[in-house]
Amino acid sequence: MLLTILILFLSAEIALRLMVYFYRRGSSRYRKEYLLICPISWTNRYGKVNYYKAHPYISYVKKANCDSPRHPSNNLGFVGNKEIIKEVKRGYRIYVCGDSTSEQNDYDMVEPFNAEVTWPYIMELELERLSNKPVEVINASVSAYTSVESLIDFQLRGLSFHPDMAIFNQNFTDAWLCQSIAGYQSDYSHNRKVVLLDRELQLPDFRLCFVYQFLKMKLTSSKDALIDHLIKSNKFKSDLDFISENSETFKLNIRSFCTICEANNIVPVLVVCSFNKEMVTPPLGHDFSANDLAKFKNILQNNNQIIRSVCAEFKSAVLFDPGEFIDSDFRNADWTHWSIHGINKMGKRAAKRLVEMINYDEVN
């Protein structure tokens, strides 16, 4: 009996190693060490929820000093590992408010992979190169933030850093998690819930044992998804027939952001959401018909129009419309998140658009 169990265990170990090898070989996701130890994506370091914590006013924020390859954070809990000294500006300071599209690095980890590389990071490098001046970007983007969380974060945390410029990169998450959900409430409480991210004691990683890590991953994966801790249900009841009524909160949040910036001598930058209309598929939680999908695209386009119209209301506001992108600028089968090509392109376009503001501030 014991021998049979041992043989089955060893067979499973070998089968899992072969599965990883044949499934990932030839791609950037394979490492030679995976013949000996399991992929890092099977470990606690990949549990996304581990890198965020509840906040009494902002719902949730990133934890500080996270060494996750996909979700690194610095000493103050902002994106990336570069430390920030709140009281000491390294240069022209830019505060970025946004969701996962500005928080993300290269999720596909194409070699040579650098966990620091997000489009705001590329923007910082390019701005320094183009302006020949020091620039400091604080990337306060957080996965699944809507315009509500980003606005509150900017008020409670962002202003205290006295940025020279603030970027607001929101659209998709409002449309996905709030504006398209039935029972719409202007405070977004129809789909958001009180966030509790304190985790129970986790089982330790033991990467030499593929069977153990695989079973642990499968048994705990549902608890590792951040989105499940933020919303009332991950199977949405959609309602896409009230675009104008369901856009008021988004419009007010954009307008409030610009008003706060002007009152504090901060240059507000509003980012137009770029997406390839032909690539759009029903986002997670939605089961759209073809007609519903067309209506969802209309919500995204309507939000972009709101961004443009609100920007025109403020003399100091700057509109950043990144323009069109090709399919390879996005991840495979993912029309919202950037590939490494898209990250670089987005960052460079942002720098090209905003460098004149840095030079103008320097003169004035």
- Structure confidence by residue, pLDDT tens digits, 154-201: 999 999 999 999 999 999 999 999 999 999 999 999 999 988 776 555
- Structure confidence by residue, pLDDT tens digits, 324-351: 999 999 998 889 999 999 999 999 999 9
**First vs last C-alpha separation in the chain:** 82
Nearest alpha carbon to residue 285 among 240, 235, 248: 235
The 8 Å CB, 24+ separation contacts for 197-200 are 197/49, 197/52, 197/53, 197/54, 197/60, 197/229, 198/53, 198/54, 199/49, 199/50, 199/223
Helix (H) or strand (E) holding 334: strand 334-338
CA distance linking residue 142 with residue 52, whole number of Å: 9
- Estimate the crossing angle of helix 248-263 against helix 290-312, to 10 degrees: 30
CA distance linking residue 167 with residue 114, whole number of Å: 23
CA distance linking residue 218 with residue 102, whole number of Å: 29
CA distance linking residue 193 with residue 93, whole number of Å: 33
CA distance linking residue 184 with residue 202, whole number of Å: 36
pLDDT at 363: 46
Do residues 47 and 224 lie in contact, with contact meaning Cβ atoms separated by under 8 Å? yes
- Structure confidence by residue, pLDDT tens digits, 206-258: 888 888 888 877 776 555 678 888 888 878 888 888 878 899 999 999 999 99
List Cβ neighbours of 220 (8 Å cut-off, separation of 6 or more): 47, 202, 203
pLDDT at 316: 95
Do residues 295 and 308 lie in contact, with contact meaning Cβ atoms separated by under 8 Å? no
- Structure confidence by residue, pLDDT tens digits, 131-148: 999 999 999 999 999 999
Mark 81-98 as b/e (b = at least 16 C-beta within 10 Å): ebebeeeebebbbbbbbb
* pLDDT tops 50 at residue 33: yes
The 8 Å CB, 24+ separation contacts for 37-40 are 37/207, 37/208, 38/207, 38/208, 38/209, 38/210, 38/213, 38/214, 40/69
Nearest alpha carbon to residue 221 among 196, 195, 202: 202
Burial class (CB in 10 A: 0-12, 13-18, 19+), 107: middle
Vertex 122 angle, CA 116 and 127, to 5°: 135
Tokens of 38: 């399991």
C-alpha dist (Å) from residue 242 to 123, 161, 183, 281, 286: 36, 38, 11, 20, 17
CA distance linking residue 241 with residue 175, whole number of Å: 13
Nearest alpha carbon to residue 254 among 138, 104, 98: 98
Strands of 318-320's sheet in order across? 135-139, 92-98, 165-169, 267-271, 318-320
User: Who has greater pLDDT, 21 or 161?
Assistant: 161
Average pLDDT of the chain is: 89
Q: Give the CA-trace dihedral at 226, 230, 232, 236, to 10 degrees.
A: -70
Please tell me the CATH code under which domain 74-195+231-363 is placed.
Answer: 3.40.50.1110
The DSSP code sequence of 76-143 is TS-BSS----TTS--SEEEEEEE-HHHH---TT-PSSP-TT--HHHHHHHHHHHHH-S-EEEEE---T
Window from 13-17, 35-39, 89-93, 256-260 with minimum mean pLDDT:
35-39
Do residues 181 and 189 lie in contact, with contact meaning Cβ atoms separated by under 8 Å? no
CA 83 to chain centre: 20
Q: How confident is the model at residue 29 (pLDDT cuts 50, 70, 90)?
A: low
Top mean pLDDT of 21-25, 41-45, 156-160, 233-237 is at 156-160
